[in-house]
Amino acid sequence: MLVVMSQGCSPDCGERVISALAAAGRRAERIALADRAAVRADGPFDVALAEVVGRLPGVALVLPASRPMRHVLRREGRGATTVRLGRHTIGDGGFTIVAGPCAVEDEAGLERVARAVAEAGADVLRGGAFKPRASPYDFQGLGRPALPLLARVGAAVGLPVVTEALDAASLDEVSRHAHMVQIGARNMDNSALLKHAGRAGIPVLLKRGMAATLEDLLLAAEYVLEEGNPHVVLCERGIRTFSDHSRYTLDLGIVPVLKRVSHLPVIVDPSHASGAREVVPALARAALAAGADGVMVEVHPDPLHALSDGRQSLTPEEFRVLASDLRALEPLLARHREPVT
């Protein structure tokens, strides 16, 4: 259990938390987050105990994180992490827009969509080469040949490139061609791949698994950082719930919590969360308002004929409107996104 204290609360408040945990038989230790104190207690999350502790004076938040985390939590005197991709920086207080097709299908289509998103104001080009699909009979991506295409088209339109790796071999290939590797929701708890990404040193876009808790996500990032790679961006992409109106449920509530407890940048993927084009712009605007450092949106020149995820892909024109709305809203909401130091 991680008990996050309010900013500026007195040391007595922390002592009271430690005593309450000790009375419940929990060993607890004080840790310093960037802008406030916190107390970490060993043992499983206990709702009743969290309720008791949550009511003590000076307690801001009780989180179900119990395992030690050496790298991902905010630390006093250490600013927020920024992740540099070519000339673009994620997490510096600006709002990053990542856009592009679900999968690279052919060079001409990729070029069309890349030019359109670059002109509309995207910062990073996405496009899958290795696709993790639900069915082995679905389009699996072009694989290796897509990587030089992405690199060439990204350079031509002046955007850095992010693309997914599914295993260590594809991660090595991606490292040679892209600015950032994506570890997808289905691989978030693949510790071998996380360690490999940590050793490779390439910036990592780590997507939250569809059934991953906040602690699961932070511990996955911890694997990469523990190997010496601090360049990690977290991505909320929707989780499984009982909701039946949408592909997944976008958990925007995790954004301000992640921003408070971790120094890593956080972006949101409204495309895979909703699975529906008409819902994507509203969720993207909401992500900006929730304090995310950016969004990742799928765009396809001809969504009806896309080989994957056409139903959720914006047309270039729809993306142009969204990007312009986001850029207009950005200054209004900037103070909620400033890195906490």
Residues of this chain that interact with ligand PEP (CB under 6 A) are 102, 128, 132, 164, 184-186, 207, 237, 269, 272
CB of 58 to Mn ion, least distance (A): 44
- Tell me the number of residues near Mn ion by CB under 5 A: 2
Q: Which is nearer to ligand PEP, 269 or 293 (by Cβ)?
A: 269
Provide CB contacts within 8 A for 240, sequence distance 6+: 210, 211, 248, 249
Q: Which is nearer to ligand PEP, 55 or 240 (by Cβ)?
A: 240
CB of 101 to Mn ion, least distance (A): 8
CB closest to ligand PEP, residue no: 184
Q: Which is nearer to ligand PEP, 11 or 145 (by Cβ)?
A: 145
CB of 341 to ligand PEP, least distance (A): 30
- Measured distance CA(179)–CA(160) in Å, rounded: 6
From the list 95-103, 141-149, 170-178, 237-245, the region that binds Mn ion by CB under 5 A is 95-103
CB closest to Mn ion, residue no: 102
Kindly tell me which residue out of 41, 83, 102, 125 binds Mn ion, with binding defined by CB under 5 A.
102
**318 contacts which partner out of ligand PEP, Mn ion, none, CB within 5 to 8 A by kind?**
none
Q: What is the side-by-side order of every strand in the sheet holding 59-63?
A: 28-32, 37-41, 2-5, 59-63
Enumerate binding residues for Mn ion (CB under 5 A).
102, 309
